[in-house]
Amino acid sequence: VSELTVSHEAGFDLPPGPRDPEDAAAGSEAQARVQEALLDLAPDLRLAVVLYDIEGQSYQEVARVLRIPEGTVKSRIHRARNALRERLRSYVSSGRGGASS
C-alpha cells in the first residue's frame, strides 16, 4: 500500500541504502506536512493525538496525563485524526500512487 511506504520509509536514522532518492524526498516531504498539520490543530486535539498516536500511550495514560475522561480522550483523538485526514488529503486519499485514478 503506497501510503504506508510514504510514512515508514523515511526517517532520521535510516542508513543509506538502495532506496530510491525520490521516495526518500517524498517521505520527508510527507513528514513535514504531517508536522505542519499537527501544528494547525487546536492544542487540546493535538495533545491527545500526539500522546496517543505518536507517543504510543494508551487511552488510560492519555486520560491521566491530560486529566480528562477516557471518553473525551477518544473523541479528541478521533476529531484530531479527522482534521488531519482533511489536511493531508493528498497523502492519504486512496488515489495517490494507488492502483488507478
Q: Site residues (CB under 8 A) for another protein? A: 1, 3-4, 6-8, 10-13, 30-32, 34-36, 38-39, 43-44, 47, 49-51, 53-56, 61, 64-67, 74, 77-78, 81-82, 84-85, 88-89, 91-94
Q: What is the DSSP string of 4-18?
A: HHHHHH--TTPPP-S
User: What's the Cα-to-Cα distance from 78 to each of 16, 24, 93, rounded to whole Å?
Assistant: 36, 29, 17
Least distance from another protein to the Cβ atom of residue 59, Å: 9
Helix (H, G, I), strand (E, B) or coil at 55: coil
Give 96's DSSP letter. Answer: T
Least distance from another protein to the Cβ atom of residue 82, Å: 7
Least distance from another protein to the Cβ atom of residue 18, Å: 20
